[in-house]
Amino acid sequence: MLDNMPRGTICIEDLEIGMSRHLRKEVTDRDIELFAEVSTDRNPVHLDDDYARDTIFEGRIAHGMLTAGLISAVIGEQLPGHGTVYLGQSLKFLAPVRPGDTVLAEVTVTAIDHARRRVTLETRCLVGNTTVLKGEALVLAPSRKFD
């Protein structure tokens, strides 16, 4: 995985509208197999080449929530980072992610409610120039006042 910033915490007092962080990760066959095991989602479109060839995707694809998990990694590790609590996430899956694809997961601050420690984040994942997932997250950000 390649991050654009060190992992850690950015407290709400230091967040700014437009602040952004990302990571890149190649999705491997092993990632898909491990996600299937952990989630118990063993849909053959993710695991069986012969089955997946006959679907609208014409080949195996990664679980959508595996891709969405990369957004969680950016939020939990970089922006805002350690101590962040997820309150909600909307997701729209726009294109498949295939084994061997490198996914860029990006998170950008779009709104800050300092009084309630709420931060709204635009979230998206890309493979090359193709947006494969987009959405919005609402999180409870860490604060120096409570540390």
Residue 124, φ and ψ in degrees, nearest 5: -160, 155
- Stated pTM of the model: 0.92
Q: For domain 2-27+61-140, say whether CATH 3.40.50.720 is its number.
A: no
- Nearest CA-CA partner of 137 in 89, 80, 105: 89
Query: Where along the chain do its domains lie?
Result: 2-27+61-140
Per-residue pLDDT of the chain (147 residues; tens, 9 = 90+): 555 666 789 999 999 999 999 999 999 999 999 999 999 999 999 999 999 999 999 999 999 999 999 999 999 999 999 999 999 999 999 999 999 999 999 999 999 999 999 999 999 999 999 999 999 999 999 998 765
Cα separation, 36 vs 61, in Å, equals: 12
Cα separation, 136 vs 12, in Å, equals: 18
